[in-house]
Structure 1
Amino acid sequence: MNEEIRPANAADVPRVKEVTDAAYRPYIERIGVVPVPMEADHAADVAAGRVFVAGDPVVGVLVAKTGHLFLDSIAVHPAARGTGLGRRLLHFVDEHARALGLPEVRPYTNALMWENQRIYPRYGYELVERRVDGPYDRLHYRKVLGPSGGDGEADRN
């Protein structure tokens, strides 16, 4: 799979929602609430230039917000899992942050989304805190960016 990662446009909004919902739906039962990315205003995020997509049709979605680069959401449609798209999206967010002149990327994940707790450290993210925000028990990570290339185990694979 070698689809270009590109900025989303208004025509992508329905598919952004579909991919996000498909990727996060399995967590509803586990965490007991609807994950925040499923309730996001996808149209507003796309209009603000915060959403990037991959595939035709779209099968990968990345939502990033700035200050540091806040990795708000990364979603890969279940049908596209195991293709390396998630790894490509993580590398893309690093390069995007560098292009914006930002020194780090900060994602969080629900404490019950243990898959992410194994993934983020492999890509150079460190756990910085655990914080409860209403019904969400979140683990906050950060990755300090160096020069382009060489970030995390995935770069060696």
Structure 2
Amino acid sequence: MLRPATPNDVAAIEAIVEAAYSPYIERIGRKPGPMLEDYGRRVEGGGVHVLDNDGQIQGFIILQDTDSALLLDNLAVAPQAQGLGLGRVLMDFAERQAIDAGYSAIRLYTNEAMTENLALYTRRGYVETHRAEEQGLRRVYMGKPL
């Protein structure tokens, strides 16, 4: 069900990004960071995994190695598949990947206007570490010890 993304998955990833992040445009006042990514390049670079259900991509996650922790760079679930626990599956996968890679922590960031995400990550044990404005986006950085 969860596998590394291939170039054939890029269109599905882009469609999920469009559907999942478009509702935030009005709240943020511009496109969120994930809508500005080059997913073809990200897939080529590795670290992108998709949730594949019988050939239908229902979600994806992008993980990135850093010096001190695994970065959960992006996670999205197709709107029609939300509420099925797939976000939890992806977050559990990220935390297992971090542990398997020898990290003692996992980090992520989200836009401060994405209050639903902040609440979700807090429930999962993530703690805010700092806030920053980058490329005109107000981000909240969070971490979780593993």
Smaller-chain TM-score bracket: over 0.9
Aligned to 2:126: 125
Give the equivalent residue in structure 1 for 2:112.
111
Q: CA deviation at 1:5?
A: 1.1
Task: Look up the match of 1:80.
Answer: 81
Would you say how many aligned residue pairs link Structure 1 and Structure 2? 142
Separation in 2 of the partners of 1:42 and 1:102? 26
Query: Does residue 13 of structure 2 align to residue 12 of structure 1?
Result: no
Greater share of residues in strand: 2
Percent of aligned pairs with the same amino acid: 39
Q: How far did residue 92 of structure 1 move? A: 0.4
Deviations 1:78-112 (A, max 9, x none): 10110000011000000111122222111111110
- How many angstroms does 1:134 deviate by? 3.5
TM-score, normalised relative to structure 1: 0.87
Counterpart of 2:103 in structure 1 is 102
Contact map agreement 1:65 1:71 (CA 8 A) in 2: yes
Alignment partners' CA distance in 2, 1:134 and 1:14:
25
Q: Which residue of 2 aligns with 1:139?
A: 140
Q: Once the two structures are superposed, what CA deviation does each residue of 1:49-96 show, in whole Å capped at 9, x if it has no partner?
A: 111100331011101111121111110111011000001100000011
1-structure distance, mates of 2:73, 2:25: 18
2 CA distance for matches of 1:74 and 1:118?
A: 15
**Letter of the 1:123 counterpart:** R
Aligned to 1:34, the other structure's residue is in SS state coil
Aligned residue in 1 for 2:58: 59
Instruction: Report the TM-score when normalising by structure 2.
Output: 0.93
Q: Deviations over 1:130-152 (max 9, x none)?
A: 1122321111000111xxxxxxx
Aligned equivalents of 1:64, 1:33: Cα separation in 2: 24
- Structure 2 stretches of 5 or more lacking a match? none
Aligned to 1:153: none
Q: Please list every run of at least 4 consecutive aligned residues from structure 1 whose deviation after the TM superposition is greater than 2 angstroms.
A: none
